[in-house]
Structure 1
Amino acid sequence: MLEVQNVDLFYGAAQALRGVSMKAEIGKVTCVLGRNGVGKTSLLRAIVGHHPIANGDILWDDASINGLATFDRARRGIAYVPQGREIFPLLTVQENLETGYAGLPAKLRFIPDEVFELFPVLKDMLKRRGGDLSGGQQQQLAIGRALVTRPRLLVLDEPTEGIQPSIIKDIGGAIKFLRDR
């Protein structure tokens, strides 16, 4: 379980988060909602280790991960799909997926079948460059890359922003599948 306790986060002198607390339980989908500029992305980036917190605690499996680097959090099973996808546009779909191997032992360096079961379009486009995909396909690729790491916690920032309804439905189905497994 993920637990955020009274977290404060600053950008210089500007406070982005003040006393934020939340829990995300295994087998449940937890959403962070709010207007633009209220700190949703800052919270998610703090959870995955991209921004240090000033006060409070972030617990994963009942242990503080405050001082852990992003890479160490990923090794503990936390994956992140940022807002804007951040795929590698010049790499192929296959190469983009393989970038998820970085923290994995050699025996796990393969693309799990579930990536292609959830997003079959990726299998058909393995040799295409990521930058040639539609926005929705790029989002599926970004989620697929995160799934290559076999995460126990998948942090998605604005997973349906600017995406056509049919792909939103596919992403929703993937989230439901992951919740239920």
Structure 2
Amino acid sequence: MTVSATVHGVVFDSTRIAAGAEDGEVRVWDRASGTLLASLNNGFGIPAQIRARNGTLISTGKNGALTFWNKSWLGEDHTVLAHDSIIVALDMTDTDLFTGGMDGVVKKWDLQSGNLAQEMSTRYGNLHVIVVDQQVVIAVSTDDAHTALEIWSLASTAPDKRRATQLRDRLG
């Protein structure tokens, strides 16, 4: 299993390994034999992030595209323009996918249908990381002088009362 381009992410399950690379390809290999099964390209640019859970393979393009690959990981199911800019954060639960873009928006997607379920705006436009579990979404965003840590309950899109809007002032 070799790739001549810079690899941005690797995921695997019990039978397959997938890697997203700088050349725009998502490659899928048989885990036992190392045989290349597919070289996938959705035409939407370099895969910035790649994740898999419960048989679903997801990749993101640097232009905000989000691709759901079919269950065999050998072809595209569908692609949506998820964000106005690069998707910088990606996390999953057993039923949902969460994307975070440099547009400052966290989006929740239904893993089974691929449909958008919720949108949550961060305080500052530069989103850096999202972390999710079955109950909450945590996001970190910044501007030139501030960092915000925000927590949303998955029961609603309203910010959780534990929201910390200004963790630290980076200017002093």
Measured against the shorter chain, the TM-score band is: under 0.3
For normalisation by structure 2, the TM-score amounts to 0.27
For normalisation by structure 1, the TM-score amounts to 0.26
Which structure shows the bigger proportion of residues in strand conformation?
A: 2
Highest RCO, 1 vs 2 (Cα 8 Å, sep ≥ 6) = 1
